[in-house]
Amino acid sequence: MEWLAHGALGLEVLFSGGHVLAAVAGCLLGLAVGVLPGLGPMASIAMLLPVTYALAPPTALILLAGIYYGAQYGGAVPAILRQLPGEASSAVTVRDGYAMARAGQAGAALGAAALASFVAGTVGTLLLAALAPLLSAQAQQVLQAPEQVALLLLLLVGAVVLASGALLKALGMVLLGLLLGLVGMDPYSGQLRYDLGLPELAGGISFMALAMGLFGLGEIIAHLGRKPAAPALAVAAPALAQRWPDAPQRRQLRPALLRGTLLGSLLGWLPGGGALLASFAAYAVEGLRRLRPGELPLSQGNIRGVAAPEAANSAGAQAAFMPLLALGLPTNAVMALLLGALSLHQVQPGPLVPSQAPQLFWGLILSMGLGNLVLLLCGLPPLGLWLRVLALPYRLLFPALVLLCALGMYSLQASSFSVALLCLCALLGYVFRQLGMEPGPLLLGFIVAPQLEAQLRLALVQGQGTWSVFWTRPLAAGLLVLTGLLLLLVLLPGLQRQRGQTFVDD
């Protein structure tokens, strides 16, 4: 009966306040974002933050979440037709997907990607609905201030370990994000810190300016400096007429789809690049499977090489919402953007969300179910539209995107300083990318910094000013030990080389 009540509440929220429109619009926009090279979900969500400021919290979260998991599927289109993987998604799909397209099986490859995303996304949504309230209830009982500090440190170290690029660069970005998150007035003493004598920074660095600059304008500037991508593959009409895999291909992809869904559901929780890591892991598992008679090897057009990573990617994207909604922990840059968007509405995700904000939680769950169906129905039938979007010249888009960021920033604060700060953050974002420094860990550190500081102060108060409070509590001590072991393991030369190779896109 409890599940029926939750489902009824979710349906009531979904079909009120324009939430259905927000879910559909988010998914369609996410599809377009995934198809169009040079944007990606992080840049799009960052640029749309000013728009969501005028929306209710459930509407804003449903819209931004739809963009995220819509882009996860949309990246399969350029990967299959253009040999160009999307933003951290479909990075493995390009190997077999493009080979299938060149062999005249583009429609079957796109159909396999759509089917895998739908099944894995639906399973991920059901797991989120079942496990998030249980995890939230347990967290309320066991997570006190010392455990919160230890968990946040584990999150930051995990983000460093799973970030692409050099380990020291990722660590530096997290530390820089933590420092930037402390700029402004100390909430306890009232003293200004790190404000450079600028009164505009008394309230801290604007999350909007940082997010839009690093991931919006910064990505646009970086994309303008890249070489033009290869033209889209000229796909014959018969190759697209078969939108679904045939019977032998379906028999091959079913077990691969299930294995990818399982890996994505397990690894999507990991901080940093959980969904991306799940895609690589799913592809590696398929490589260990024995080929059936007449089956092509992986990377030469095997449909399992499309279904497994796409399923893992979609399931991992849904699983990433678990720590955010149940614990208030953003495990990647996109989740940090969603957390920041909710903070703008004075909503703090965490263990109390399922019980104290059930409309927000169950409305989001039901919107995810609707979003998965929208992606299945709108991903393949209007394929001609997505092919036209794929061929759209980027030079026609970036002026409008730059103007959108500047007007959005100015409309929120009506200050030229905020626009100047946006430009400075955009310049930093471009410099970071040129130096091979991923800005995701920086944003994660920036979002986590106030919470880490508050919980650390509270833990020291509970421990009467001594650090022993962290090792006299078993759970906190265990998490700190796990954090230390993770750092020591990743410093081993062999693991450093393997880590560097894992996140290199072919």
Greater confidence (179 vs 299) lies with 179
**The pLDDT of residue 176:** 92
- 326-345 mean pLDDT: 80
User: In terms of Cα–Cα distance, which of 101, 111, 378, 80 is closest to 243?
Assistant: 111
Q: Which residue has the higher pLDDT, 41 or 234?
A: 41
Residue 192 has phi, psi (to 5 degrees) of: -80, 145
Residue 331 makes CB contacts below 8 A (sequence gap 6+) with 155, 158, 159, 269, 270, 271, 272, 274, 320, 323, 324
Give the mean pLDDT of the chain. Answer: 79
Give the DSSP letter string of 119-156: HHHHHHHHHHHHHHHHHHHHHHHH--HHHHHHHHHHHH
Kind plus residue range of the DSSP H or E element containing 365 = helix 358-379
User: pLDDT digit string (tens) for 94-114?
Assistant: 778 888 887 878 778 888 888
Listed range (277-291, 366-380, 488-502) with the worst mean pLDDT: 488-502
CA separation for the pair 310, 314 (Å, rounded): 6
pLDDT the model gives residue 179: 92
Q: Let me know the angle formed at the C-alpha of 492 by 488 and 494, rounded to the nearest 5 degrees.
A: 150
What percent of the chain is modeled with pLDDT above 90?
Answer: 3
Asked if 99 and 299 count as a contact pair (C-beta separation under 8 A), the reply is yes
Q: What is the tens place of the pLDDT at every residue in 459-480?
A: 888 888 888 888 888 888 998 9
What is the pLDDT at residue 37?
A: 61
Tens of pLDDT, residues 160-209: 776 666 778 888 888 999 999 888 888 877 788 888 888 888 888 888 78
Residues shown for the chain? 506
pLDDT-based confidence at 145, cuts 50/70/90? confident
Other C-beta atoms lying within 10 Å of the C-beta of residue 103: 14
Better-scored residue on pLDDT, 147 or 85: 147
pLDDT tens digit sequence for 217-271: 777 777 776 665 555 544 444 445 566 777 777 888 888 889 989 988 888 887 7
CA distance 210 to 443: 8
Whether the model pTM is above 0.85:
no
pLDDT of residue 426: 87
Which of 407, 339, 375, 408 shows the shortest CA–CA distance to 54?
408
Q: pLDDT band for position 293 (50/70/90)? A: confident
pLDDT at 432 over 80: yes
How far apart CA 181 and CA 449 sit, in angstroms, is: 5
What are the C-alpha distances in Å from 200 to residues 188, 285, 421, 424?
A: 20, 52, 10, 15
Per-residue pLDDT at 262:
92
> Helices (DSSP H) in 85-215: which residue ranges?
93-102, 106-142, 145-162, 167-181, 207-211
pLDDT-derived band at 505, boundaries 50, 70, 90: very low
Among residues 165, 88, 23, which one has the least CA distance to residue 501? 165
Band (pLDDT 50/70/90 cuts) for residue 484 is confident
Q: What helix, strand, coil percent values describe the chain, rounded to 5?
A: 75, 0, 25
Nearest Cα to Cα of residue 71 among 89, 58, 85, 84: 89
